[in-house]
Amino acid sequence: MADLNERDAKLVQYLSEAYGKERELEAALGAHIAMTVKGPYKKRLQQHLKETKSHAKQVERRIKQLGGGGQTLQSAVGKLTAAAKGPLHMVRGSGEQEKMLKNAKTEYFNEHEEIATYLAIETLAEKVKDSETAKLARAIRREEERMASFLQTQIKALSGAVVRDEIPPALRRGGSAKKPRKASKPRKAAKPRKPAKPRKAAKPRKASQRKKAAAKR
């Protein structure tokens, strides 16, 4: 690589990082496509794999135009990283829909990382008056944003599919299953009441008291 001034060296640095990420995602997307059933999702992944390969070629070309090079090692590291993750992705989740959901979440994360990368390149290039690099970064960023938007919709659809496949209908409406009520504790037996004390018989009146009562009448 020829000696670069500070401006071009920084541009090449950022572009090389983007290039390495594109190469890494080529391998990851290939693994995800193999795990995905036929349908719009698989078709879109295949389309984005072509876009990813095109992005890498365009970025590599721009790096060379700026006088850079030596990004091959970074690309190899990216591919090895993705290859190491591939077998782990194959054991994700318990069902087909959940595996695809987890792949979509990973892809969504990667798309936003790329969006941030190309936004930084675009802004840097604009600040140093490199219109060609800015134009390239802007075009790629927009394609990544379209893919991220698709994945956002796909994540919602796949989440619903997981619900239909793995959660019984009776539990979809009322949340968690109702817990059985605890058996009520037996009431303590009431203590027997003490028998009422018998009333004392009235004392017989004396004769004098009877006479007084009769006189009052």
Q: How many CA atoms lie within 13 A of 64 on its CB side?
A: 7
* Whether residue 48 has pLDDT greater than 80: yes
Higher pLDDT, 33 or 186: 33
Instruction: Take residue 143 and report the two structure tokens written for it.
Output: 């394609």
Sign of CA dihedral 127, 129, 133, 136: positive
> In whole numbers, what is the pLDDT of the chain averaged over residues?
83
Report field, pTM of the whole predicted structure over 0.75 = no
CA angle 13, 19, 21 (to 5 degrees): 110
Instruction: Take residue 3 and report the two structure tokens written for it.
Output: 């000696």
pLDDT in tens, 144-183: 999 999 999 999 999 999 999 988 988 988 755 555 566 6
Q: Rounded mean pLDDT of 105-122?
A: 98
How many secondary structure helices (H) and strands (E) does the chain include? 7, 0
**Domains in the chain, CATH or no CATH each:** 6-173 (1.20.1260.10)
